[in-house]
Structures are given as structure tokens and as C-alpha cells.
Amino acid sequence: MRTQVAIIGGGPAGLLLSQLLHQQGIDSVLLERQSRAYVLARIRAGVIETGAVELLREAGVGERMDREGLVHEGIYLATSNRGFRIDFKQLTGGTVMVYGQTELTFDLYQARDAMGGTMFHEVDQVRIHDADTDKPRVSFRHEGRDLSIDCDFVAGCDGFHGVSRKSIPDSVLREFERVYPFGWLGVLSKTPPVSDELIYASHERGFALCSMRNPNLSRYYLQVPLEHTVEQWSDDDFWQELRRRIPHDAAESLVSGISIEKSIAPLRSFVAEPMRWGRLFLCGDAAHIVPPTGAKGLNLAASDVYYLWRALCRHYEEGDDQGIETYSATALSRIWKAERFSWSMTRLLHRFPDQSSFDLRMQQAELEYLETSVAAQTSLAENYIGLPY
């Protein structure tokens, strides 16, 4: 078969890119390793930056988000069971949208169905051929058949473990990584959120985060050692530990319940350079991972899609390849700034095994400075709502 853009990966990045390209009359075919049901069942982040919100609206998939999503004008930071608020709206004029990635993926699937776009689920043996020529090709196996797509470009939106990044020669690719010595134990519960906005809590026992998906669905996290397993944590143990780490007033009003999902996620910072090799482009987790402390994972994927979409439109509509040539450098400039922010938030709020008494004092001093400095709060707010594209 033949298409203009072969997109490997049917998560939010791949689906959003296909939707934006379709609106400009650019054809694409999507390949996804998992089933549709599996993709829609994945529990992921739900904080969407200002720029990503606008991009989703531009893609024509923002109607339900605007109707059901929660606009947040700030967050709470807490230390030693006492919190203070960072007011995004007052400091920057911006906000974020809380809307679950599962819901967003559902909306993007609906849009893909409406456009009648070609999408293959449960594919394997995906291979990218001749990406460094002007005639790339993607081969794969689907339902017992060997298939192939001839295309102009390949967009690798297939995540950290996908084939796209691995298709770039080792002599070309550079990887930068930091693995953190702890994980996040996450619980999803059908309970009202403890706060109207997210609470990021630093505590001597470890970090905690109070988040939400909607007014009746809450998401909570605890920093735990990497060697811990989900089986070690009963629901009662989780709620008791969460109460120990968050502000006293929140602990008193917290509504606990049976967990409907519980998992432990490791944390890492990772960047691959370059994000383009010939006619192969990396998008989202295929090129970079951030610790979730800064709420940047989905949002970085959205900015990658924005840059690639604009570059491909210029190619097809104007015969201008400047955006294609500069895609990697442009995307990486924003990515490294988001990596810095996510790393700094992680360092600020977590307990590290090798922290000295001096390190702990500096951590406390930084939080106290944030509480009293408008300049420091403005910097945090600018980064949290999202740097401009």
C-alpha cells in the first residue's frame, strides 16, 4: 500500500498527528502494536498545558475536553504537612486543563474513525527500511499476513521501547539518561478529590501527589523504593501513608476508598538526539522521557507533533523543507527546557537515598524561597503551564 506519512504508534501522539495532517489533506496510515481496547485502558497523566489545549482545539478534538475538563489556575506545594499556593492565572495569565489521557485518546480515536483513516492494530515485526533515502518503507505483520507501506515520511510515535529510535544507526544517535532511585506508587479511586487543585507534597517520609481525573475520580501517588511491589501495599496502608505526607487539613478531609487501579512506575529522564534521520522523525516518548513531577510527558509529545505537523504541511503545500531540516533542533530546544523543569521539580520534592543533611536544608530553603518570592513562583508557573511553541 501507499501513503504520504506512515505513523508508527497509535497513542495520543500518533493519533493527534494523523488528525492534524488529515485536516490539511495529507494522508497517513497508523500502525499500533497493541489492541484498541488495550490502548484505551492505559492509565496516564491528565494535566494539559495551555499550548496543547489550543492544539487539540485546532485539531477539532477539544469539544468534550472543554465541556468535561477541569480548568486549573494553580497548584499547591506543601512541605512538612503545610501548604501554599502558586497562582498561575495571577502570575502569568495562563491555566492548565485537567483531562485524563485515556479520555483524550478516546476522543482522538473517534476523530480517526470519523475521517475513515486506515489504522492497523496488533501489528508486530515492524521494520523501517530506507529511511535515509527519498523512498522509505515500513513492513509489518498483521493477522498472519506480511504487509508493507511505501511512504514519503515515517513518524515514529511508538514510545520508549518502540522500533523507531532503534532504527537510527548507533553512529548517529546519542542518548542522555538519568534513572531515579525510586518510583511512584499510584492509586486510582472512585472518590472525590481531596483538593480543587493538585497538591505536590514534600515530606521527610517521601514525596506525595494528590491529583484527579474528574470530580468523582481521584489519582494519588506516593514515592516508594524501587524494590517495592504493588502487593506490599494494601489500600489501607496506602491511605494511611498518604495522610502522613500531605498537609494536615487535606489529610483530615481525604476520602479513601477501594483502589480500581494500582501500579508502581519507575522514574527517568531521557533524551535521544537527533530526532530526525533522513525521512524518519521521532515524536514523544520515542525520543524523550521525563519524570512525571513536572506533568510534561504528554505535553512534550504534543509540541513535537506541532513542529512535525507544521513542517510536513510546509513541505506538501509550499515545497519548503526548512521545517523538516530544523525539526530536530527546534523540538530539542523545548524538550531540554522541559527536562530541566521536570528534573528540578523532582529534585526539589523527593527524598534521595544519598541526601546529606546539607542537601535537606537546601531543599527546605528552596521551598521557603518559593513560598515568599513572586519571581520564583512566576518562573515555576511559566514552566508548568508550558513554554510557548
Catalytic positions: 72, 200, 292, 296, 384
At 117, list the grid cell: 483513516
Q: How far is CA 287 from CA 26, 71, 278, 328, in A?
A: 24, 29, 15, 10
Burial class (CB in 10 A: 0-12, 13-18, 19+), 270: middle
Q: How many residues does the chain have?
A: 389
For the beta carbon of residue 325, count every other beta carbon within 10 angstroms. 12
Laid out side by side, the sheet with 28-31 consists of 118-120, 28-31, 5-8, 153-156, 280-282, 276-277
